[in-house]
Amino acid sequence: MKHSDQRCLIQARLILILWAMFFIVMSPLDVTMAACDHAHAHNDYRHDRPLLDALDHGFVGVEADIYLQDGQLLVAHDRDELTPDRTFDGLYLRPLDERVTQQGGHVYADGSDLMLLIDIKADAEAVYVVLDQLLAGYACMLTHCIDGVVTRGPVTVVISGDRPWSTIVNDTTRYVGLDGRLVNLDSILSANLLPLISDRWTSHFTWMGQGDMPTTERAKLRAIVTQAHVQGRQVRFWATPDAPGSAREAVWRVLLEEQVDFINTDDLGGLQTFLQPPLN
Task: Decide: 174 and 145 in contact? Cβ < 8 Å.
Answer: yes
pLDDT at 32 over 60: no
pLDDT at 42: 97
Burial track 224-237 (b if 16+ CB lie within 10 A, e otherwise)? bbeebeebebbbbb
Contacts of 164 (CB under 8 A, 6+ apart): 120, 124, 125, 127, 128
pLDDT at 9 over 70: no
pLDDT at 278: 86
Q: Facing residues of 264 across strands?
A: 40
Q: Return d(Cα 165, Cα 72) in angstroms, integer.
A: 22
- Average pLDDT for residues 200-222, to the nearest whole number? 98
pLDDT at 280: 64
pLDDT at 138: 98
Task: Count the residues in the chain.
Answer: 280
> How much of the chain, in percent, has pLDDT values that exceed 70?
88
Q: What is the pLDDT of residues 114-163, one digit of tens each?
A: 999 999 999 999 999 999 999 999 999 999 999 999 999 999 999 999 99
- Average pLDDT for residues 220-246, to the nearest whole number? 98
- Torsion sign, CA atoms 136, 139, 142, 146: positive
Q: Return d(Cα 165, Cα 177) in angstroms, integer.
A: 10
pLDDT at 33: 65
Res. 2 pLDDT band, cuts 50 70 90: very low
Burial environment of residue 46 by CB neighbours within 10 A (0 to 12, 13 to 18, 19 or more)? middle
Range from 29-38, 130-139, 218-227 carrying the lowest mean pLDDT? 29-38
Q: What is the pLDDT of residues 68-93, one digit of tens each?
A: 999 999 999 999 999 999 999 999 99
| Phi, psi for residue 116 in degrees, rounded to 5 | -105, 105
Q: Return d(Cα 52, Cα 263) in angstroms, integer.
A: 18
Q: Return d(Cα 86, Cα 84) in angstroms, integer.
A: 6
pLDDT at 279: 76
Range from 59-68, 183-192, 271-280 carrying the lowest mean pLDDT? 271-280
pLDDT at 157: 98
Burial track 20-36 (b if 16+ CB lie within 10 A, e otherwise)? eeeeeeeeebbeebebb
Mean pLDDT, the chain, integer: 91
> How much of the chain, in percent, has pLDDT values that exceed 90?
87
Q: Which helix (H) or strand (E) holds 185?
A: none
pLDDT at 191: 97
pLDDT at 24: 38
- Average pLDDT for residues 56-70, to the nearest whole number? 98
